[in-house]
Amino acid sequence: MENNRTEISTLGEFGLIDHLTKNFEIQNVSTVLSVGDDAAVIDHFGKQTVITTDLLIEGIHFDLMYTPLKHLGYKSVVVNVSDIYAMNATPTQITISIAFSNRFSVEALDEFYEGVFAACEKYGVDLVGGDTSSSQKGFIISVTAIGEVATDKFVKRSTAQKGDLICVSGDLGGAFLGLTLMEREKKIYLENPKVQPDLENEDYIVGRLLKPEARKDIIEFFEKNNIAPTSMMDISDGLSSEVLHLCKQSNLGCKIYEEKLPIHDLARKAAFKFGLDPTVCALNGGEDYELIFTLKQEDHDKIVLNEEISVVGYMTDAEEGYKFLSKGGNSFDITAQGWNAFNK
């Protein structure tokens, strides 16, 4: 069609968004924050509105062979409210549009919406709109989440300062190990449909993959304890990838310590069983939907008693680079190994 053809893989996902939106200028004074963070911020005279959107496609973002539709509905909401929390905001409304081929029945869609409603109830959000249509192939889900935040209380990715502590909520790598397990079982099943899946003792990692939760509790903890993170985002593509976003958008470097990475015992056991390094899973595995945020050092006392928050490192000058210090004392450069849809 064109004489010049640039393959999208040459830009990568974030390069592509930058490329496509770079010449776009803001026209409305109500647009406080635009493309480039977990969510956009819109001013509404006294409160600010936060908005984020995600498109989830069967075969790319989820596999219905091992994802129950109810869980998929739940997760579709969770991944979006997670982006709202990542702005230090409270989710209030969502819209959800779906498209599906004729292999889906009303009962199947009911299951999906059961999960949607369960998540809406859990996170206190209202489903306020959407759209259903047919697709030529597969199941397609588009969710937009809206939240609110007191004026200028939202937290961006670009505002970390040198010396700030890098913190993460919960534990990392579990969802990736759950995915590894499900993909392995799927392969075995496809080769021999008579073999029953072996998911014994793997509830934890399977749950991390199929029924993630967004960290509402952490945002409430910030509010209650008067904590203002200096930057924040959610961990959907893996810690390595996300910490690089915070560094690059804040023009800083970082140091992350292997010994500080929060990894659940059951995730560690699963990693060994699959012959994987738990540290690599924690660094590069996606879909945990935990929060990564930076804090002023003097705020350390405010979080030290919260067992759901781990300090994993600190921000440095940009010249010091992006460093990972292993338990053995070696220093490695952090690179984004996160999920990249265009290299798959």
Tell me the DSSP string of 305-326. Answer: T-TTEEEEEEEEEGGG-EEEE-
Least distance from a copy of itself to the Cβ atom of residue 109, Å:
6
Least distance from a copy of itself to the Cβ atom of residue 135, Å:
5
- Tell me the C-alpha distance between 257 and 325, whole Å: 5
- Taking the mean position of all CA atoms in its chain, how far away is CA 238? 8
Among 86, 89, 98, 155, binds a copy of itself (CB under 8 A): 98
Least distance from a copy of itself to the Cβ atom of residue 235, Å:
17
Could you tell me the maximum CA-CA distance found in the chain, to the nearest angstrom?
Answer: 62
DSSP letter, residue 62: B
Least distance from a copy of itself to the Cβ atom of residue 241, Å:
15
Backbone angles phi, psi at 62, to 5 degrees: -155, 160
Binding span for a copy of itself by CB under 8 A among 114-122, 194-202, 209-217, 252-260: 114-122
Least distance from a copy of itself to the Cβ atom of residue 19, Å:
7
DSSP letter, residue 46: S
Count each helix (H run) and each strand (E run) in the chain, helices first. 10, 13
Least distance from a copy of itself to the Cβ atom of residue 25, Å:
8
Shorter beta-carbon distance to a copy of itself: residue 140 or 266: 140
Shorter beta-carbon distance to a copy of itself: residue 80 or 316: 80
Do residues 66 and 186 lie in contact, with contact meaning Cβ atoms separated by under 8 Å?
yes
Cα 333 to Cα 13, 134, 243, 261, 322: the distances in Å are 21, 46, 12, 16, 6
Subset of 136-175 contacting a copy of itself (CB under 8 A)? 136-138, 140, 142, 144, 146, 148
Among 63, 67, 113, 296, binds a copy of itself (CB under 8 A): 113
Residue 304 sits in the site that holds a copy of itself (CB under 8 A): no
Shorter beta-carbon distance to a copy of itself: residue 20 or 228: 20
Residue 200 sits in the site that holds a copy of itself (CB under 8 A): no
With vertex at residue 285, the alpha carbon angle to CA 58 and CA 21, rounded to the nearest 5 degrees, is 65
Binding mask 32-71 for a copy of itself (x = CB under 8 A): -xxx---xx-x-xxxx-x-xxxxx-xxxxx----------
Q: Which residue has the tokens 């292999």?
A: 103
Binding span for a copy of itself by CB under 8 A among 16-24, 179-187, 253-261, 300-308: 16-24
Shorter beta-carbon distance to a copy of itself: residue 120 or 281: 120
If binding means CB under 8 A, how many residues of this protein chain bind a copy of itself?
85
Cα-Cα-Cα-Cα dihedral sign, residues 223, 126, 17, 14: positive
Least distance from a copy of itself to the Cβ atom of residue 335, Å:
21
Which residues touch 67 (CB under 8 Å, ≥6 apart)? Answer: 210
Q: Which residue has the tokens 């000058």?
A: 317
Residue 307 sits in the site that holds a copy of itself (CB under 8 A): no
> What token pair was written down for 303?
């979080």
Shorter beta-carbon distance to a copy of itself: residue 95 or 159: 95
Which residues touch 79 (CB under 8 Å, ≥6 apart)? Answer: 54, 56, 143, 212, 214, 236, 289
Among 129, 300, 304, 331, binds a copy of itself (CB under 8 A): 129
